Structure 1
């Protein structure tokens, strides 16, 4: 949508005061600044009907000029994306400071996004989100930095996102199953070198403890949910699968109250290269 036409009616409407091109650039700049920070990930939310919000909060006489199929597709697919901060706060990935004409619409969109729930890790096979240009008309779009584009040849973006959703559910289950006291005890045992090949599990155990500690300091359920999604997005491969890792065997025995001799023997048996 170029600000002088739309995909439905192709009706020309000169509105230089709207600063539509500056609006497009402002969205790109906002996204570029946030996405180029180190180790950032994108997340989906349950914020819906964002394009309707966008149109409804424009001046009534201008709405038909911004009824655009390409922009609607972008806003409905990507408009609710967020970045998650270490403390669980979220920030809209797309919407920030824009020209005054669009500010009421964008403010309402941001408010809805900030009050939504994170639903998954966003992964893309494509570098460009949206259609920047159709014919001579410009539309809302952003470009992902290279580190945010999937390079997997084995799984597409939907499969990768589904894997992250599974990781999230598995991690939640492990947090509920293994209290932090058991994790602390496991780390103590692993650090004493009294368990066979204990170094293989120590990294996972300390990572799991760190997550326990982070969420224990958060009372807001939405922020706690966000911290867990961030942990899933950043986790090394396999770390979320606590119960099926060797650390899970150790934690099971600790939770069951087995004596150290039994714990050590069972751990050594499972860690043996002959297994």
Structure 2
């Protein structure tokens, strides 16, 4: 650039502001960013500038910026392209920027764009301002395990695989798989329902918009939850294969149930290699999550409950005996011998729970008893998919495969006070449908008497950064122990969506006592 050309300095600063404004507008739409194969953009830019000004705008710093970042675009869900930097600007250089916009938007998307930089380009050098972009914090890549370049490479691989799977598992096969899962007849179907719905939706978009199929696939890759593009390597891939090979439903269901067994699904079956352990050390160190592996039993007062028992027994509050609790006399319907009302959980929640002052649960001799857990250290970084630094939720849970006896949980086969009710932690502050749905009934004095021989860090619950070292984590978890077993007050019974329950309750309200049988979710 030529020094002393004041009109240039003011004019070009104005265009730098317009470029940044265009970028912010694109980002605010929530659209992911991509690279196109547009090239020689700076040459095209200069050709649109009047001859008498062209030399003034010939700059090696700006050229590098345009060639490195000028081909960035945003994609909408239906595959429409918008240049991320170049807009319908005005003034002397409007034709040059319009040319860039046109070239970029007519090019093919070839890569995702991910950056950890706060600024793209050089803001000031040689006495002049240059083309640059200030990258908003909300879109900067902040991962600690991989670099932004490595993440872009991973997205390219995801795109390649997704292209392959769209051909390998065509629309009709995807429809059959989605219908089977949505029928809720498969064991632990909820683990695959999210990815199946996503894959089905993708197929529909591709069928209705073949012209922009490449862009639709790229958008799907950029916005897919972790692991969704790896269809072949997931349980949905097993289901799609079985349907494609023409197996009957019973065979499909049996094979699916076997592979979804909690002792098999995402659980390593062999010891970790030396290399996996060494990689685990590096990842744990990079993420700073050593404290997160220390777990303890949770307490009722820590939970996000939807109902709690309030033992506010009345006293006179007067005189020498004012502190003694008064016997509460409730109206009961026992003499009428009214049979129990069969009801779903959703109706129970809507019509009974809000008026219940006391709930008693008939403890079965053997069943789905469970414990809620949390981090031992309050400052332990998040390691669960539903936990994040903005909204902390370090809670998890465990149950025993095929259930356990009530005696193991310090309970007996009789009515027991319910001290609290909550949804499973993954449902507290967001939607994680692949984790399933369930309700926890917190029972008075319930605790795992001997404690479990593990600290229950299950791979299917953990963040994606830990996926590659799940064998090492599994081995660690088997050797670790849970703290606070005697302080536990968040243990009880787990009612899971998709199963028949037929569990009995006795509910006290201001009008009396009623008996209920909860048979299913809804």
Checking the alignment, whether the CA contact within 8 Å between 1:47 and 1:80 is kept in structure 2 is yes
Name the SS for the 2:82 alignment partner: strand
1:36 and 1:145 in contact (8 A); partners too: no
Matched, 1:274 2:288: no
Q: 1:243 aligns with which of 228, 232, 235?
A: 232
* Matching residue of 2:15: 23
Closer/same/farther in 2, CA of residues 52 and 107 from structure 1, 3 Å limit: same
User: Where does residue 25 of structure 2 map in the other structure?
Assistant: 33
Number of residue pairs the alignment of both structures matches: 264
CA contact (8 A) 2:73 2:82 kept: yes
Moved more, 108-117 or 157-166: 108-117
**Offset at 1:17?**
9.9
Which segments of structure 1 move beyond 6 Å, counting only runs of 4 or more?
none
SS of the equivalent of 1:231 reads helix
Structure 1 contact 211–231 (Cα < 8 Å) conserved: yes
Q: Is the 8 A contact 2:3 2:127 kept in 1?
A: no
**For residue 90 of structure 2, what is the aligned residue in structure 1?**
99
* Aligned pairs (5 A) from 1:132-171: 132-171=123-162
How much is the aligned-residue C-alpha RMSD, in angstroms?
A: 1.6
In 1: Cα distance, 2:26 partner to 2:42 partner: 22
Question: Residue 247 of structure 1: SS of its match in structure 2?
Answer: helix
Deviation digits for residues 58-106 of structure 1 (CA, Å, limit 9, x no counterpart): 1112121111121111100110100111221101000013232111211
Q: Does 1:75 align with 2:66?
A: yes
Please give the alpha-carbon distance, in whole angstroms, between the structure 2 residues aligned to 1:26 and 1:192: 52
- For the residues of structure 2 that align with 1:135 and 1:11, how far apart are their CA atoms? 9
| Residue of structure 2 in register with 1:64 after alignment | 55
**How big is the shift at 1:18?**
7.9
Q: Where does structure 2 lack aligned partners over 5 or more consecutive residues?
A: 265-522
User: Could you tell me how far 1:200 is from its partner in structure 2?
Assistant: 0.4
Q: Distance in 1 between matches of 2:217 and 2:70?
A: 22
Q: 3-state DSSP class of the match of 1:19?
A: helix
Q: 1:105, 1:135 → 2: CA distance?
A: 24
- SS at 2:256 equivalent: helix
SS at match of 1:142: strand
* Corresponding residue SS for 1:101: coil
1:261 aligns to what? 250
Question: Relative to total residues, which structure has the larger helix share, 1 or 2?
Answer: 1
Contact 2:115 2:140 in 1 (8 A): yes
Stretch deviating more after TM superposition (202-211 or 258-267): 258-267
CA distance in 2, matches of 1:101, 1:28: 18
1:219 aligns with 2:186: no
For the pair shown, which has the larger CA radius of gyration, 1 or 2? 2
CA deviations on 1:158-181 (whole Å, 9 max, x unpaired) are: 100000011111111111111222
- Aligned residue number for residue 181 of structure 2: 190
Indicate the residue corresponding to 1:172 in structure 2: 163
Q: 1:92 & 1:202 partners in 2: Cα distance?
A: 35
Q: 1:170–1:241: 8 Å Cα contact kept in structure 2?
A: yes
1:52 has 2:43 as partner: yes
3-state SS of paired residue (1:77): helix
Q: TM-score, normalised by structure 1?
A: 0.91
Q: Is the 8 A contact 1:19 1:99 kept in 2?
A: no
Contact 2:41 2:100 in 1 (8 A): yes
Task: Give the CA deviation at 1:143.
Answer: 1.3
Larger fraction in strand: 2
What does residue 252 of structure 1 align with? 241
Mark the runs of 5 or more structure 1 residues left unpaired by the alignment: 1-5
Q: Distance in 2 between matches of 1:175 and 1:219?
A: 13
